[in-house]
Amino acid sequence: MLLLALAAGCYTGGATAGPGDEIGGSTGGPGEQGAGGSPVDTFGEGLPCDVAQLMKTRCVSCHNSPPVGSAPMPLVSRADLLAPAKSDPSKTVAQRSLERMQAGTMPPMPATQATADEVAVLQGWIAAGTPAGACGADGGAVLATPDPLNAQIACSSGTYWDGESAGYQMAPGQPCIGCHASSRDDGLPRFAIAGTVYTSGHEHDGCNGVNGTSGPFQGAAIVLTDRNGHPLASLPVNGVGNFTTFSAPPAPFYAKLTFQGRERVMTQAVPNGDCNRCHTSTGANGAPGRITLPQ
């Protein structure tokens, strides 16, 4: 419920502008909410709860409505799953989904693959003739969750760095390694990887991110993996959303944000450990915005 309240808060536009507030030039960001696809408040519409839960856990970080990044279609309602597949209109999206899950090619690496039980849920639903269920926005386990990248620029935590104090809680949202680089010889810590996690995709520089150490977002972590999704390291998120490490795995390595069994993954190899250089408030170098907690 708190997650929902926070997400809803992003739409009020009531946040006070913070330092470095710039709107514009964003991809998939402010102003595009609700563009294309069915309204997000129908999440899970027509689906039995177990199928809806599977989509929520494994698929909607990309296949939301509208889809995120280069995912081709939404997977949030029964109508979405019964539509003809783009790659093969003789099959439904549900059938193609089952094939891709069984082949281990959806979700894409480095995402965690669906468990055998989860695959069995989709298989059983298709075998039963894809019956309608009632797990819509009004009840059941699935909440209506607009994608956090479709949010107005804001500061969800409502608190900012003071602009002066140095340490692990400094400068959330800013590119740490620009100042903390190994090429420098000024006695500052030399991070190999550093960045900040937020609850929504577009947050001001200096705004404190999620508190990963206590409260509702406790346990949020950046997991670094090899190309097959095998974990190599886990970086805890601190009280203001910052994460750091002094040593990176050998390249190529991959990154995802995990929280309560859900995740949002970066599908290309991490080209640079200064995560906030690309994951700015509006997104730079093709990144969609901030590194954002899975809903």
User: What is the token pair recorded at 110?
Assistant: 């480095």
> To which residue do tokens 């069994």 refer?
261
Which of the residues 150 through 179 are near ligand HEC (CB under 6 A)? 166-168, 170-172, 174, 176, 178-179
Which of the residues 84 through 103 are near ligand HEC (CB under 6 A)? 85-87, 93, 96-97, 100-101
Task: Give yes or no for residue 292 binding ligand HEC (CB under 6 A).
Answer: yes
Q: Among residues 273, 280, 282, 295, which is the contact residue for ligand HEC, using CB under 6 A? A: 273
Task: Give yes or no for residue 266 binding ligand HEC (CB under 6 A).
Answer: yes
Buried b (16+ CB within 10 A) or exposed e, 245-263: beebbeeebbbbbbbeebb
Closest by Cα among 243, 245, 236 to 214? 236
Task: Give yes or no for residue 192 binding ligand HEC (CB under 6 A).
Answer: no
Task: Give yes or no for residue 10 binding ligand HEC (CB under 6 A).
Answer: no
Contact segment (CB under 6 A) with ligand HEC among 45-53, 135-143, 209-217, 270-278 equals 270-278
Task: Give the whole-angstrom CA distance, residue 250 versus residue 226.
Answer: 9
Task: Kindly tell me which of 139 and 219 has the beta carbon lying closer to ligand HEC.
Answer: 219
Task: Kindly tell me which of 15 and 56 has the beta carbon lying closer to ligand HEC.
Answer: 56
Task: Give the whole-angstrom CA distance, residue 205 versus residue 221.
Answer: 20
Task: Give the whole-angstrom CA distance, residue 131 versus residue 125.
Answer: 7
Task: Give yes or no for residue 204 binding ligand HEC (CB under 6 A).
Answer: no
Task: Kindly tell me which of 136 and 294 has the beta carbon lying closer to ligand HEC.
Answer: 294
Which of the residues 20 through 59 are near ligand HEC (CB under 6 A)? 58-59
Q: Among residues 50, 154, 265, 280, which is the contact residue for ligand HEC, using CB under 6 A? A: 265
Size of the site for ligand HEC (CB under 6 A): 67
Position 151, amino acid: A
Which of the residues 119 through 138 are near ligand HEC (CB under 6 A)? none
Q: What's the min distance (Å) between Cβ of 107 and ligand HEC? A: 3
Whole-number Cα distances in Å, 246 to 13, 51, 183, 280: 38, 41, 13, 22
Position 74, amino acid: P
User: What is the token pair recorded at 220?
Assistant: 């949020």
Task: Give yes or no for residue 286 binding ligand HEC (CB under 6 A).
Answer: yes
Are 123 and 98 in contact, with CB atoms under 8 Å apart? yes
Task: Give the whole-angstrom CA distance, residue 291 versus residue 203.
Answer: 10
Task: Kindly tell me which of 11 and 168 has the beta carbon lying closer to ligand HEC.
Answer: 168
Task: Give the whole-angstrom CA distance, residue 195 versus residue 237.
Answer: 9
Task: Kindly tell me which of 188 and 232 has the beta carbon lying closer to ligand HEC.
Answer: 188
Task: Kindly tell me which of 78 and 277 has the beta carbon lying closer to ligand HEC.
Answer: 277
Q: What's the min distance (Å) between Cβ of 3 and ligand HEC? A: 15
Whole-number Cα distances in Å, 91 to 41, 70, 174: 27, 21, 46
Task: Give the whole-angstrom CA distance, residue 265 versus residue 167.
Answer: 28
CB-count burial class (<10 Å; 0-12, 13-18, 19+) for 41: middle
Residues that bind ligand HEC (CB under 6 A): 58-59, 61-63, 68-72, 75, 85-87, 93, 96-97, 100-101, 106-108, 111, 114, 166-168, 170-172, 174, 176, 178-180, 188-189, 193-196, 222, 242, 244, 255-257, 264-268, 270-275, 277-279, 285-288, 291-292
